[in-house]
Amino acid sequence: MSDTPISAKRDPVRGLVLGLVGLAIALFVYTLIADRMTPSTSQATAQAFLIRMAPEVGGRVISVDVSDNDIVKPGDLLFRLDPRPYEIAVAQAEARVAQVGQTLGASTAAVETAQARVAEALAARSNTREQTARVLELVRRGVYPPARGEDAQASLARADATLQGAVSELERARQNLGPAGAANPQLRDALSALERAQLDLLRTRVVAPSTGVVTNLNLSPGSYLAPGQAALTFIDGRAYWVSALMRENNLEHMQPGTLVEMVFDALPGRVFAGRVESIGWGLGGTAPVDQATGLLSPTKPNNDTRRFPVTLLFNEQPPVRTLRYGSQASIVAYAVSHPVMNAIAAAVIRLRSVLAYLS
């Protein structure tokens, strides 16, 4: 009878210890399973295309039409170079064409107009071709629907047709000069010089290639820019993605198309759906980027777990104003369809989104 009170007093302690041990074992087992079925990481950042905006011609800056960190639309003027030297060059080229035309007994007015239209059509087609290439790349990645790619190709076809029409008009104007005049080397040289001068004049206006953000702006009126000298960095806001570093043991069941959810420290309380776009297949040496291979190097010593880069795409692109380039993110990947594990992972990632208010 005397042993009963002692056993009763020891039972709570024993129960607590057993409970803690059981909890530790359960957490250990859950971690082992989750690392493969619902892997997660907080080593992830928002990425976008960065464009170093530089003029194609040199000159002195006469106006800067944006401020640092401005959000701009396609075609918005960023800055202008002094057009006067290029206007003079156009006038000289026009005078040269007129001089040659008079020598050949031809009217140059139609030729000049047609040449200007060809220059404009060339510039428009070049811009449309670049835009189409970017859109098709994003369609290939699944960021845009195929219809967006078809629209872009249709725009490129229209630009090609406009250019062909302008070229045809120019050819008709040249034919009006007569066989001898159209084949005259002096006239062809003068027309080429006029086209170059007109195109250079158009290039004194540097515009935004797409919706995006102006950053790293260090430019003021009076500055001189050489051709190709970067004046600012442009963050292309049409397509953000997330670059995540995942441990090797996270990758067993992950593949392109795996569903993911992402939360950002800068956007607490929000969960963004996405998918795996690609998984890195190689790492380099000990430098941040191995110069011999060009591959991203591991972030851990050789005797520790290495991390491979995984590219994640959004199912719906966040607006430019909501997400910043380089924003810290936490992600979870639903590599295996399991209702219990997926539910736990979904609850954890949502808890992280709420805790982001405190970070």
Q: Which of 25-29, 30-34, 73-77, 205-209 has the lowest mean pLDDT?
A: 25-29
Most confident of 49-53, 103-107, 139-143: 49-53
Count helices and strands in the chain by DSSP H and E runs: 7, 14
Residue-wise pLDDT for 234-243, tens only, equals: 999 988 999 9
- What are the tokens at 169? 């008009």
**Average pLDDT of the residues of the chain:** 84
Going by C-alpha positions, the residue among 73, 164, 77 that lies closest to residue 114 is 164
Cβ–Cβ under 8 Å, residues 244 and 329:
yes
Domain membership flag for residue 175 = yes
What pLDDT does residue 283 have?
Answer: 74
- The predicted pLDDT at position 123 comes to 84
Q: In the chain, how long is the greatest CA-to-CA distance?
A: 132
Range(s) of the domain holding residue 264: 37-48+238-358
pLDDT band, residue 74 (cuts 50/70/90): very high
pLDDT at 50 over 60: yes
In degrees, rounded to 5, the angle at the alpha carbon of residue 356 between the alpha carbons of residues 351 and 359 is: 135
Is the model's pLDDT at 110 over the cut of 90?
Answer: no
Asked whether residue 147 is domain-assigned, the answer is: yes
Annotate 225-275 with DSSP letters as a single string: E-TT---EEEEETT--EEEEEEEGGG-SS--TT-EEEEEETTEEEEEEEEE
Residue 230 resides in a domain: no
Average pLDDT score over residue span 269-284: 90
Letter for the amino acid at 112?
E
Identify the domain boundary among 203, 226, 253. 203
Q: Are 226 and 56 in contact (CB under 8 A)?
A: no
Q: Is the pLDDT of residue 31 over 80?
A: no
269: region left, alpha or beta (phi > 0 left; psi from -120 to 50 alpha):
left
State whether 99 and 182 are in the same domain: yes
Confidence band of 132 (pLDDT split at 50, 70, 90): confident
pLDDT of residue 293: 43
DSSP state of 295: P
- Residue 255 DSSP SS3: coil
Domain end residue (candidates: 180, 203, 226): 203
Residue 27 has which token pair? 């957490």
Number of domains within the chain: 2
- Rounded-to-integer distance, Cα 118 and Cα 327, Å: 44
Confidence of residue 78 (pLDDT cuts 50, 70, 90): very high
Choice between 19 and 242, residue whose per-residue pLDDT is larger: 242
* 105 and 176 both lie in a single domain: yes
Strand 59-64 vs strand 224-225: parallel, antiparallel, or unpaired?
Answer: antiparallel
Question: 180 in a domain, yes or no?
Answer: yes
Residue 91 has pLDDT above 90, yes or no: yes
Does the pLDDT of residue 66 top 70, yes or no? yes
| Nearest-10 crossing angle of helices 109-141, 185-202 | 50
Together in a domain, 249 and 341:
yes
Look at residue 203 in the predicted model and tell me its pLDDT: 95
pLDDT digits (tens, 9 = 90+) for 283-338: 765 556 655 445 555 555 455 578 899 999 999 988 888 889 999 999 999 999 98
pLDDT band at residue 224 using 50, 70 and 90 as cut-offs:
very high
Task: Specify whether 186 is located in the same domain as 256.
Answer: no
Same domain, residue pair 257 and 319: yes
Q: Is the pLDDT of residue 77 over 70?
A: yes
- More confident position, 65 or 124: 65
Q: What's the pLDDT score for residue 298?
A: 54
Give percent above pLDDT 70 in the chain.
83
- 40 pLDDT band, cuts 50/70/90, is very high
Q: In this structure, is residue 25 part of a structural domain?
A: no
6 has pLDDT over 60: no
The residue type at 349: I
Q: CATH no. for residue 268?
A: 2.40.30.170
Same structural domain for residues 92 and 197? yes
Q: Which of 203, 225, 253 is the last residue of a domain?
A: 203
CA dist., res. 201 & res. 187, Å (int): 21
Comparing 173 with 340, the larger pLDDT belongs to 340
Instruction: Say if residue 15 is exposed, middle or buried (CB neighbours under 10 Å; 0-12, 13-18, 19+).
Output: exposed
Q: What is the mean pLDDT of residues 225-245?
A: 94
Listed range (30-39, 66-75, 347-356) with the worst mean pLDDT: 30-39
The pair of structure tokens assigned to 39 is 């892997």
Question: pLDDT (tens digit, 9 = 90+) per residue, 168-219?
Answer: 887 877 676 555 555 677 778 888 999 999 999 999 999 999 999 999 998 9
The rounded distance, in Å, linking the Cα atoms of 290 and 248 is 19
- Which residues on adjacent β-strands are paired with residue 309? 245
Mean pLDDT value across residues 266-289: 83
CA–CA separation, 199 vs 57, rounded Å? 10
